[in-house]
Amino acid sequence: MQRAELEAMQLAKVQRLVARLWHENAFYRRKWQAAGVHPDRIRTLDDFNQRIPVCTKQDFLQDQAEAPPFGSRLGLATQPPALVNLTGGTSGQGQEYYGRSQKDVLTQAYMHFLPWFMAGLRRGDVALNCVPAGGMSTGGWGPAEGIRLAGATGFHVGGNLTTQAKIELMQRLGSIHFIYASTNYIHTLTQAMLQAGIKPAEAFPMMKSVFIAAEGYPLEWAQDLQASWGCAIHEGYGSTQGAGFIASTCDHSVVRADGHRGQMHLFEWAHKVEVLDPETGRHALPGDEGEIILTNLDVQASPVVRFSTRDRVRWHAASHCNCGLPWHTVEAGTIGRYDDMIKVRGNNIWPITFDQIIFAYVQVAEYRGRVYVDARDKTEVEIQLALKTGACSAPEAVELIGRIGARIKERTNVSVLIREVPASDLPEHTYKARRWFDERQQGYRSSVLAS
């Protein structure tokens, strides 16, 4: 489609969605009535952006509390949900319940299959799914359905095999064409192989692509990963609210031929994605950061309309990528969370910033950070850093740590204490990583008790 055709489809879907929810969904009707909105007033996409109020996680949690378990926004009048998904609760505010209709389950499968097809997965391929399967998360159900829809042979090893057992299985299989894993777990898997003397590109020459999701990363890390595996690295952005993936990389992968970051193209016929400056509410200009405000256009059971995701992305118009797709993009490898921000000595810092600085050095295996209050009641930041085995000599390690500390100070205006530790002292991340811990509350309590 050309851009104008795509936006015409979006408008038709938006108008149909708003009209349906007005008549069938008590949650949205109440919210829109309180804002003075009627479906007849949504004549353009700008009307939708400006008139329909934003929903927050707290809105959904309150609705669930008042009408458990799904809240009054469950849009299934004549059938029970075919599947129930929960969000991860990583924000600390609680988990949202999402009922899925039979159609939603198929949509969820398609929204996993599509980005993998774009990354090269085909019928008859062998696919290794390293994300924990089952459970109640969208990420636990969608991948298996997406691989099945592709006609590929899926090995769902996440959560039930150790990293060593996964490697042994891969060696027995030999011909593997596709891997799906979180950003952090593919890092763990790759390092385990290299430490065992296994070169992934040589051991698995049939590999078409490695597909990552869930966390950001430095460009240098992605380049090193592509070299290690000898294939393209692709990335998708998704969420439970989106019932699967919302965007994915094109043929350029996560690293373009010119050495710049790739772009994840938004699936705009299935989702309406606004990227807004959280302070002004204005849409981001090309190259600027903003928060994704999400509307899914095809979900039946637990629809999401102008939902505040708190996901921080860098937005570009479709023309920024020369692949020819008409879909606007968000930059690969730089998605973060506004909720993850840590304020240290008056400076706003995000964990993804530290990830990008630290993992830009290929000698680094893993790290963990903490913010704490020392014995003098002073806020300090400590980073425990594990280097790859044999990556550098002791003097080189000291010099490297100094360079990393200087780079962190330059980027964040925060001085940190970096302490080298064995890799065994740090946890292995099997899915999403939690590397940062704010321990200041414990320090404040200790000071009060001591006084």
pLDDT at 10: 97
Identify whether the C-beta of residue 119 lies closer than 8 Å to the C-beta of residue 159: no
Q: Is the distance from CB of 421 to CB of 384 less than 8 angstroms?
A: yes
Going by the DSSP 8-state scheme, the letter that residue 430 receives in this structure is S
- Crossing angle of helices 3-24 and 26-34, in 10° steps, is 100
What is the model's pLDDT at position 349? 75
Give the start-end residues of each E strand in 317-451: 329-331, 336-337, 342-344, 347-349, 364-373, 379-387, 417-420, 436-438
The pLDDT assigned to 404 comes to 95
Give helix 138-150 / helix 102-118 axis angle, nearest 10°.
Answer: 70
Tokens at 245, concatenated:
């993936």
Look at residue 450 in the predicted model and tell me its pLDDT.
Answer: 46
Residues 6+ apart with CB under 8 A from 405: 415, 416, 418
Give the integer Cα–Cα distance in Å for 300 and 142: 17
Q: What is the pLDDT of residues 223-282, one digit of tens each?
A: 999 999 999 999 999 998 998 999 999 999 999 999 999 999 999 999 999 999 988 999
How far is 208 from 150, CA to CA, in rounded Å? 15
| Regions of the chain short of the pLDDT cut 50 | 91-92, 443-451
Q: Write down the pTM of the prediction.
A: 0.81
The confidence score (pLDDT) of residue 76 equals: 73
Q: Taking Cα atoms as reference points, which of 229, 246, 226 lies closest to residue 237?
A: 246
Q: 3-state class of 209 per DSSP?
A: strand
pLDDT at 133: 81
pLDDT tens track for 191-233: 899 989 999 999 999 999 999 997 788 898 899 999 999 999 9
**DSSP 8-state class, residue 340:** G
Asked if 241 and 73 touch (Cβ cutoff 8 Å), the reply is no
- Rounded distance between C-alpha atoms, residue 79 and residue 83, angstroms: 12
Domains identified in the chain and CATH numbers: 102-339 (3.40.50.12780), 342-450 (3.30.300.30)
